[in-house]
Structure 1
Amino acid sequence: MLSWQQALQRLQEGNLRFAAGDAGFDGAGSHERRRELVTGQNPFAIVLGCSDSRVPAELVFDQGIGDLFVIRIAGNIVAPSQIGSVEFAAESFSTPLVVVLGHTQCGAVKATLSEIVRPTEQRSPNLRAIVERIRPALESLVHTELSRDPDALMHQAIRSNVRASVNQLRHGSEILERLCAQGGLRIIGAEYSLESGVVDFLDDVS
């Protein structure tokens, strides 16, 4: 059983390989690996990431089938179903690490910023539900000096949204709170750069 520190190191090392164009996962071995996983799974990390097609967690962290328990939703938001999925993996597999993975140029964050500045009634109720979950983390940023610098505003908004999701997981579930308090689980935030391929972990991971 890995500690959360060991799990994090494994992700960091995998991302370094990916960003350098030296990914080591060999898909040719997946047939044997699939057979091994028929009777169960033991993912070493849980990743709550965005649905964006450019941010596939297994590739970004250079991991194979069965290594990561991945939950993807636009804007890496946290709703009851996402919390339940994290609870399931953390309890069922004793997975020690949860990473909320945002990314640069996030469309859901951009749409939320636009909605705050220029409200519209044209979005579907389902799309609006995503925007409304992101909105509280971004609203105060729009009324600061960042509003004069769109790039800086977007940068801070993406990270604020990640931190809000981390906070919701840390404090929105009795199960996850208990596991964190007992030292068996760590929940951290991260941002993936579409430009460089590098994942920047946002929390104190010492």
Structure 2
Amino acid sequence: MLRAPAAGLVAAFAAAAGAEFATPARAGAQTELTPDAALKELLAGNQRFMRGRMTALDVDLKILKRKTADQQKPFAAVLSCADSRVPVEFIFDQSIGQIFVCRVAGNVITSEIIASLEYGAAVLGTKAIVVLGHANCGAVKAAMQGKAAPGQISTLYRYFQPALDQAGSNLELAIKSNAKIQSELLRKGSTVVADLVKKNLIKVTAAYYDIALGGVTLLE
């Protein structure tokens, strides 16, 4: 049985940022995107990344930085692992101001992560949230092995237990199960996100990143 993290998630947030910014020849302005279109843009960016045909840096960065200095309107949010092999903006071929990224070892849902993603959804207007697990995740692997770890590293292990219960000794299955479980915890643990999902204003899904091939596969 899944259990959401502790309550007390979010206080009031500041007013939304100003007008949106979109780069040429990419997805339309954020306010025009549907949740499905936002997810499609992420996957299209991943295809460009895989093929070595990235376009995110084609835009003049001086202009981009100036236009986003006082505002942000990301069209999607991604919760990923902190692993250095998972450069989220690169993976989805996006640049400054286009995706709202939260990173934590094992891409686990905590009150702080929920608060951050709620801000992205309710204040910034993200249309899709992707919980991104990845191949050979060291956090899930360590929890599976159950070895002693220095400091507070082992405090992460409890988040992975539901996935380990499902996957046994299969690491890839455990990583994928964890991404799906964390995605469900977000939908259940956030009244803000749940309400937006119910109104078809946002889509929350789990995905898996193959660090060797560079591809992202949706799991839900």
Normalized per residue, the structure richer in helix is: 1
Give the equivalent residue in structure 2 for 1:138.
164
Matches within 5 A, 1:157-196: 157-196=174-213
Alignment partner, residue 42 of structure 1: 73
RMSD: 1.3
**Structure 2 Cα separation of the partners of residues 102 and 141 of structure 1:** 15
**Number of positions where the alignment pairs a residue of Structure 1 with one of Structure 2:** 189
Runs of 4+ in 1 over 4 A off after TM superposition: none
Q: How far off is 1:28 after superposition? A: 6.1
Alignment-derived partner of residue 66 in structure 1? 97
1:94 aligns with 2:125: yes
Q: Which residue is 2:152 aligned to?
A: 126
Contact 2:107/2:131 (<8 A) preserved: yes
What is the TM-score with the length of structure 1 in the denominator? 0.88
3-state SS in 2 of match to 1:191: strand
Native 8 Å contact 2:127 2:202 kept in 1: yes
Q: Which amino acid aligns with 1:77?
A: V
Q: Secondary structure at the match of 2:85?
A: coil
CA displacement 1:29-54 (0-9 Å, x = unmatched): 11110110112100000000010111
Unaligned segments of structure 2, at least 5 residues: 1-30
CA contact (8 A) 2:210 2:216 kept: yes
State the shift of 1:27 in Å: 6.0
* Matched position secondary structure for 1:26: helix
Report the TM-score, using the length of structure 2 for normalisation: 0.83
The CA deviation at 1:125 is 5.3
Could you tell me how far 1:135 is from its partner in structure 2?
1.7
Answer whether contact 2:74 2:97 (CA < 8 A) is retained: yes
Instruction: Please give the per-residue CA displacement for 1:80-137, whole angstroms capped at 9, x wherever unaligned.
Output: 100000001100012110000110010011111101xxxx4x3245211111111222
Q: Percent identity?
A: 36
